[in-house]
């Protein structure tokens, strides 16, 4: 089973989300046992969640791009795991390098988010870069580490069109395996329809940013992934 995860980041208005979903519903092929995950911006969560109730989209799962490190309570602006109850959220992308860089997330905060996600039955997709794989793993209790998916994303490859050399990806996967155990390994960084099969031959899944924004580009990635 492969994971194809769309991360829309802070893109898209309500109307653009609806249009994307229309195109997706119309053109998606049968993905079999593979899992396509859509991680929309929070305000679009309800539309995407409702749309995924359609029987033909039952293999597409809902993800969030972040989660509060705290439980429900007096944390203005935060979206807690409790807030997500009833929306059928299956995955949470946690510790993305943009969250670390622009919102100053620490390894411990990411670990607290992992704890919140797991306690709500949401699978964490923990993002790591070469520099801190071991430190990030060390902040997460061992019994929780093995329940994560781990996405390796080199900063130089994110949003640049310069996808990471497979050899570098595999070297980092082996560090991830030592630190996290036998977890599903995801690659992210300028994945598109031309390079996705190369990565999927060696990874359990891909995290797709730019190429997930246009529905036809994303469907081309999904189709190429399943060939």
In degrees to the nearest 10, what's the CA dihedral of 47, 50, 53, 56? -30
Q: Which is nearer to ligand PGA, 150 or 191 (CB)?
A: 191
Nearer to ligand PGA, 200 or 208 (CB): 208
Asked if 92 and 122 count as a contact pair (C-beta separation under 8 A), the reply is yes
Query: Which residues of the shown chain bind ligand PGA in the complex (CB under 6 A)?
Result: 7, 153, 158-159, 188-191, 207-211
The SS3 of residue 186 is strand
Please pick, among 96, 98, 105, 107, the residue that the annotation labels catalytic: 96
Give catalytic status of residue 96 as yes or no: yes
- Provide, rounded to whole angstroms, the least separation between the CB of residue 157 and ligand PGA: 6
Q: How far apart are CA 117 and CA 115, in angstroms?
A: 6
Least spacing, CB of residue 45 vs ligand PGA, in Å: 18
CB of 137 to ligand PGA, least distance (A): 19
SS3 11: coil
State the first-to-last Cα distance of the chain, in angstroms, to the nearest integer: 13
| Least gap, CB of 190 to ligand PGA (angstroms) | 4
Q: How far apart, in whole angstroms, are the C-alpha atoms of residue 126 and residue 152?
A: 9
Q: Which is nearer to ligand PGA, 179 or 208 (CB)?
A: 208
User: d(Cα 8, Cα 193) in Å, to the nearest integer?
Assistant: 17
Q: Nearer Cβ to ligand PGA, position 109 or 154?
A: 154
In terms of C-beta density within 10 A (0-12 exposed, 13-18 middle, 19 or more buried), how is residue 41 classed?
A: middle
Please report how close the Cβ of residue 96 comes to ligand PGA at its closest, in angstroms: 6
Max intra-chain CA distance, the chain: 48
For ligand PGA, the closer CB: 68 or 97: 97
Residue 184 burial (CB < 10 Å; 0-12/13-18/19+)?
middle
Query: Which member of 98, 105, 109, 153 is catalytic?
Result: 153
Specify whether 153 is catalytic: yes
List the catalytic residues. 96, 153
């Amino acid at each position: 089973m492969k994971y194809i995860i769309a991360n829309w980041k802070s893109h898209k208005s309500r109307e653009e989300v609806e249009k994307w979903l229309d195109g997706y519903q119309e053109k998606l092929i049968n993905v079999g046992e593979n899992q396509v995950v859509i991680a929309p911006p929070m305000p679009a969560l309800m539309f995407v969640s409702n749309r995924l109730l359609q029987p033909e989209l039952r293999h597409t799962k809902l993800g969030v791009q972040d989660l509060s490190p705290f439980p429900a309570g007096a944390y203005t602006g935060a979206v807690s795991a409790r807030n997500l109850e009833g929306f059928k959220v299956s995955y949470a992308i946690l510790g993305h390098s943009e969250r670390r860089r622009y919102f100053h997330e620490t390894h411990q905060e990411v670990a607290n988010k992992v704890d919140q996600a797991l306690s709500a039955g949401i699978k964490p997709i923990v993002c790591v870069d070469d520099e801190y794989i071991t430190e990030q793993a060390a902040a997460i209790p061992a019994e929780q580490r093995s329940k994560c998916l781990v996405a390796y994303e080199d900063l130089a490859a994110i949003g640049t069109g310069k996808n990471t050399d497979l050899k570098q990806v595999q070297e980092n996967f082996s560090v991830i395996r030592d630190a996290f155990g036998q977890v599903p390994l995801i690659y992210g960084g300028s994945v598109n329809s031309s390079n996705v099969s190369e990565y999927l031959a060696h990874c359990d899944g891909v995290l797709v940013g730019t190429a997930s924004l246009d529905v036809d580009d994303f469907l081309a990635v999904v189709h190429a992934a399943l060939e």
